[in-house]
Amino acid sequence: MKINFIDLQAQYRAYKEEIDSEVLEVFSSAQFIGGEKLNKLENSLAEYTGAKHAIGCSSGTDALLLALMALDIQAGDEVITTPFTFIATAEVIAFLGAKSVFVDIDSQTYNIDPAKIEDAITERTKVIMPVSLYGQCADMDAINAIAKKYKLTVIEDACQSFGADYKGKKSCNLSTIGCTSFFPSKPLGAYGDGGAIFTSDDELAEKMRMLLNHGQNERYKHKYIGINGRLDAVQAAILNVKLKHFDDEVVAREEIGSRYSDLLEDADVITPKIAEGNTSVYAQYSIRVKDREAMVTKLSDEGVPTAVHYPVPLHLQEAFKGLGYKVGDFPISEEVSEQIMSLPMSPYLTEKEQDFIIQAIKGE
């Protein structure tokens, strides 16, 4: 049986007529940057999350960068975040000359452990940037309370969790700024790079809109040093179609994720734990196994694709050696990174395919 890790082709077939029509409208209008499609998307994203402002941008990475730029994060400032995430989270901090201060993760959710954050705060700390990993939100109430106590700003890196709920509220609308990604494999994915920034702060929203367009406040008048971080109209048109169907896909993802966990209950693996009050959009369905290499090989031999998110925590990456961290500094992140592996996941994964994967894991 041939199984896709993520079945983007099935999704395209499901919405083909709508997507083709929307994209052709962009081609016919020849308005490829900004315009009606982007305005519609931003309004729909704001309505979906409950945030006052949703701002389309060129990628999830640029969303994080723009958020930090809007807060005037500079060289010497410190940003607290997790070492168990994709490099973009800490990369944008380093890009601005600021310092990532890592805090270990919770062993159940793999998100940053709020109980360990206060010990990492110094007089140079400006921001806490939790990551809502694998599709479920971090403990945002606890994190926001710490930030309020120390007068810090919280940016939710929600690049994997758009659509997830946290205590009745949507990811991306849980802190001062939320950032998400529309990379094709994300729960809500474009057909290229894309992202969005969310805030209910009018001043920050205005500044981020300028920053993503070369710092312009009027044409050829530049208030800030910015970047070219715009979301193009073709991607906005595609996302408008997908967003209409997104809630149905989220339900399917939750059902598939729950079914995986039920069927793997008696297997020698650790399945994802969803915290009370959370839902997950299962950007990845990730299990932990003691001998990952053997399991990956075993599944590969059966035709089951897998992936590892993430094999090397950020504090042990060569790019961050200047931070001075070493093996043993964040033991939970290190243990999880050695055991974690992701199974095929998409709203179009069939029960037959899922049963085949489960049988391959169990060796049945």
Confirm if 132 and 109 have CB atoms less than 8 A apart.
no
How far apart CA 225 and CA 122 sit, in angstroms, is 28
Strands (E), the chain: 53-57, 78-81, 99-102, 125-129, 153-157, 165-166, 169-170, 177-181, 195-199, 216-218, 221-222, 285-288, 340-343
Question: Averaged over 248-267, what is the pLDDT?
Answer: 98
Question: Averaged over 50-69, what is the pLDDT?
Answer: 98
Please tell me whether residue 175 adopts helix, strand or coil conformation. Answer: coil
Confidence of residue 364 (pLDDT cuts 50, 70, 90): low
Question: Averaged over 263-284, what is the pLDDT?
Answer: 97
Which pLDDT tens digit goes with each residue over 241-252?
999 999 999 999
Which pLDDT tens digit goes with each residue over 280-309?
999 999 999 999 999 999 999 999 999 999
* Domains of the chain from N-terminus onward: 8-239 (3.40.640.10), 246-362 (3.90.1150.10)
Confirm if 112 and 338 have CB atoms less than 8 A apart.
no
Task: Please report the pLDDT score of residue 2 as a whole number.
Answer: 87
Between 364 and 79, where is the model more confident?
A: 79
Question: Averaged over 136-149, what is the pLDDT?
Answer: 98
Confidence of residue 1 (pLDDT cuts 50, 70, 90): confident
Confidence of residue 124 (pLDDT cuts 50, 70, 90): very high
Percent of the residues in the chain that have a pLDDT greater than 70, as a whole number: 100
Residue 189 has pLDDT above 90, yes or no: yes
Place of tokens 């083909």: 16
Query: Of 41, 31, 40, 56, which is closest to residue 229 (Cα–Cα)?
Result: 56
How far apart CA 328 and CA 332 sit, in angstroms, is 9
Which pLDDT tens digit goes with each residue over 326-340?
999 999 999 999 999
Residue 253 has pLDDT above 90, yes or no: yes
Helix then strand then coil, % of the chain, to nearest 5: 45, 15, 40
